[in-house]
Amino acid sequence: MPGTSLTVPPAQVAGQRRMGPGTVRFLLPPRILAGFTVAGPMECKGPMGGYMDTCLEDTFYGERCWERTESKMLKEAVQQAVQRAGLTDQEIDLALTTDLLNQNVSGNFAMRSIPIPHVGVYSACAGFAGGIALAAAMVDAGFAQRAVVGASSHHDAAERQYRFPTELGVQRPPTAQWTVTGAGAVVLAATGPDDSLLVTHATFGKILDMGLKDPYDMGSAMVPAAEDTLLRHLQDTGRRLEDFDWILTGDLGQVGSRILLDWLKDRHGLDIDGRHSDCGVLMYNPAHQDVHAGGSGLGATACVVSGYLLKAMAKGLVNRVLVIGTGSLHSPTTHLQGESIPVTAHAVTIERPGVS
């Protein structure tokens, strides 16, 4: 076929890529060339702090408002990830960014001074895993040779938009989570060093709604999405829990994580205890940091994956991980209108080359 390097008909390739409802495998698994993280002062005092690349001294980072701070963090994460990969902006074909603020202003404003074609995506806190899945699909299909995926959140900016300005000092219930101030980015490419980590599979989430309405308990609301995506991924790929060293959810927090473990064991006979961690829980030390049910926000997944996970896998400590980003898709408007909280979860498999 002129103009393509495929050795099999496109229809056959599409059939091989498709594994089930929402699940795909990448025939030419994109390689992760580099990652970079920026984290706030509170986050850098937590268990993941030593794996962050840039630690902020305060929550403003030299800016006059938190929204500008978040955009600056995301811009730095994207630029430094590209530089760490040994590339220039002109060598990146596509940038995908995702954040929690209205109209994706963090990503849009960050990318206005970076000359890379850009698409903003939104799946709330599931956006980083979803962005990696979309970028991997583009690279695998040959529509892009290299892509960068970035995500961010900021505690104070998110509180101002979704709940109350922090200056009010509103009390939070025990189920509430603390939005992570952080940003992370990864660079995917069609080619790279032989020891580069691979993105091999993706499962895109469905929109589910259990009728819950409490924005201070998003962990409980997101459990059905995490459960559904995990079950579909296992069924579609034919893999077992034992095939993964780690099942890493985005930000279910302590409450949602406990429910997920109980549901999987009681309803499906699946025991992920000891194999599961939650990025929101990993970010903070509950004995010394009062974050109630743990962390939330895109920064949780972005910082853990772009920071700790990539470093741990590069050292051979972890071979194959299923990252399940979880997202609560409500807005301040829908909450005030009495709507329930729809949720979703996107998953990607990241593994070391040669893992059987």
Domain with CATH 3.40.47.40 in the chain: 10-168, 195-351
Q: What is the DSSP annotation of 218-282?
A: HHHHHHHHHHHHHHHHHHHHT--GGG-SEEEESS-HHHHHHHHHHHHHHHH----TTTEEEHHHH
Q: What are phi and psi of 184, to 5 degrees?
A: -145, 155
97 Cβ neighbours under 8 A, 6+ residues apart: 74, 78, 104, 106, 107, 108, 110, 111, 118, 120, 121, 131, 149, 150, 151, 152
pLDDT higher than threshold 70 for residue 12: no
Segment holding 314, helix H or strand E: helix 310-314
39 Cβ neighbours under 8 A, 6+ residues apart: 48, 49, 52, 54, 55, 56, 180, 181, 182, 183, 299, 303, 307
pLDDT higher than threshold 50 for residue 6: no
At residue 15, the pLDDT reads 58
Q: 272 vs 20, 198, 275, 279, CA distance in Å? A: 23, 23, 5, 15
CA distance 107 to 74: 7
pLDDT higher than threshold 90 for residue 8: no
- Taking CA 172 as the corner, what is the angle to CA 301 and CA 129, rounded to the nearest 5 degrees? 15
- Residues 145-192 have pLDDT tens digits of 999 999 999 999 988 888 766 665 667 777 888 899 999 999 999 999
Radius of gyration (C-alpha) of the chain in whole angstroms: 19
Closest CA to 41 of 127, 154, 129, 145: 154
11 pLDDT tier (thresholds 50, 70, 90): very low
Question: Residue 7 carries which DSSP code?
Answer: S
pLDDT higher than threshold 50 for residue 95: yes
In the CATH scheme, what is the homologous superfamily, with its name and number, of domain 195-351? Stage V sporulation protein AD (3.40.47.40)
- Residues 222-258 have pLDDT tens digits of 999 999 999 999 999 999 999 999 999 999 999 999 9
CA distance 234 to 203: 10
Tokens (6 digits) for 301: 């997944």
Amino acid at 117: P
9 pLDDT tier (thresholds 50, 70, 90): very low
Residues 110 and 74 sit within 8 Å (Cβ to Cβ): yes
- Residues 204-226 have pLDDT tens digits of 999 999 999 998 898 999 999 99
Phi-psi region of 3 (alpha: psi -120 to 50; beta: other; left: phi over 0): left
CATH number of 10-168: 3.40.47.40
Dmax over CA atoms of the chain, in Å, equals 64
Scanning the structure block, which residue is given the tokens 């279910």? 252
139 Cβ neighbours under 8 A, 6+ residues apart: 28, 30, 145, 146, 147, 188, 189, 190
Q: Is the pTM of this model over 0.85?
A: yes
- Residues 13-42 have pLDDT tens digits of 455 899 988 999 999 999 999 999 999 999
At residue 183, the pLDDT reads 98
Q: Which residues does residue 37 pair with via DSSP β-bridges, in sequence order?
A: 184
Average pLDDT of the residues in 276-298: 92
Residues 275 and 249 sit within 8 Å (Cβ to Cβ): no
Give the distance from CA 196 to its chain's centroid: 19
- Residues 104-130 have pLDDT tens digits of 999 999 999 999 999 999 999 999 999
CA distance 257 to 288: 20
Q: What is the mean pLDDT of the chain?
A: 92
